[in-house]
């Protein structure tokens, strides 16, 4: 999977031009850098360009729906409502801090299906894949995990058995 890019900002750079250049939505770049006003971008010398949304990187075409966050919503409520994990939503939107989600934010939710499982103590992705009749690489791809990214007890993963 692609790593985030650190862009050295030129005086002429704005969110729209960076979005077009890197193929990442403006809202993802703004959120990844805490940019809320044009003055915020002018103070930065380097801009973090997050990974593009999962919806644009999947091997097969994956639909995304958009959801507007309400005052009552939590990231975990939204994840449960749409049958994905909070981690998938965070990665699909280039968000590092789940607490940064605010009322009015528009989130992209990949349309995926499967079963959400909790990793048990000492369990590996390979163990989970074997138990569910899928591959470890597929679990990593669906959950947008890096190849060497560790899993830990209590982590929730979306698993499906369709290759």
Q: Are residues 124 and 97 in the same domain?
A: no
What string of DSSP letters covers 3-16?
PPEEEE--TT--HH
For the chain, what is the domain count? 3
Range of the domain at 79: 54-110
103: left (phi over 0), alpha (psi -120 to 50) or beta: beta
Kindly state the helix (H) or strand (E) to which residue 115 belongs, with its residue range: strand 115-118
Burial per residue of 97-133, b for 16 or more beta-carbon CB atoms within 10 angstroms, e otherwise: eeeebeeebebbbbebebeebebeeebebeebbeebe
Q: Which residue, of 94, 110, 126, is where some domain finishes?
A: 110
* pLDDT band (50, 70, 90) for residue 125: very high
Strand, coil or helix: what is 89?
helix
Kindly state the helix (H) or strand (E) to which residue 110 belongs, with its residue range: strand 106-110
What does R_g of the chain's alpha carbons equal in angstroms?
Answer: 17
Percent of the chain with pLDDT over 70: 88
Spatial separation of the C-alpha atoms in residues 96 and 116, rounded to whole Å? 21
Q: Are residues 62 and 104 in the same domain?
A: yes
The average pLDDT across 112-126 equals: 88
The average pLDDT across 32-54 equals: 79
**pLDDT tens-digit map of 57-80:** 433 445 678 899 999 999 989 988
Q: Are residues 106 and 132 in the same domain?
A: no
Burial of 50 (0-12, 13-18, 19+ CB in 10 A): buried
Question: What CATH number is attached to the domain comprising 135?
Answer: 3.10.350.10
Q: Are residues 92 and 120 in the same domain?
A: no
Hey, CA dihedral for 127, 147, 32, 113, is it positive or negative?
A: negative
């Amino acid at each position: 999977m692609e790593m985030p890019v650190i862009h050295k900002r030129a005086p002429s750079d704005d969110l729209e031009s960076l979005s077009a250049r890197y193929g990442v939505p403006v809202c993802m770049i703004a959120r990844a850098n805490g940019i809320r006003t044009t003055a915020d971008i002018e103070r930065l010398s380097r801009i973090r360009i997050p990974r593009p949304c999962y919806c644009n990187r999947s091997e097969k075409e994956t639909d995304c729906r958009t959801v507007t966050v309400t005052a009552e919503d939590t990231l975990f409520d939204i994840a449960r409502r749409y049958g994905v994990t909070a981690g998938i939503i965070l990665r699909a939107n280039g968000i590092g801090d789940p607490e940064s989600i605010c009322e009015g934010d528009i989130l992209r939710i990949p349309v995926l299906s499967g079963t959400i499982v909790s990793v048990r103590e000492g369990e590996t992705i390979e163990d989970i894949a074997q138990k569910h009749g899928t591959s470890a690489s597929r679990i990593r791809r669906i959950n947008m995990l890096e190849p060497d990214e560790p899993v830990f007890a209590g982590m929730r993963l979306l698993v499906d058995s369709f290759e």
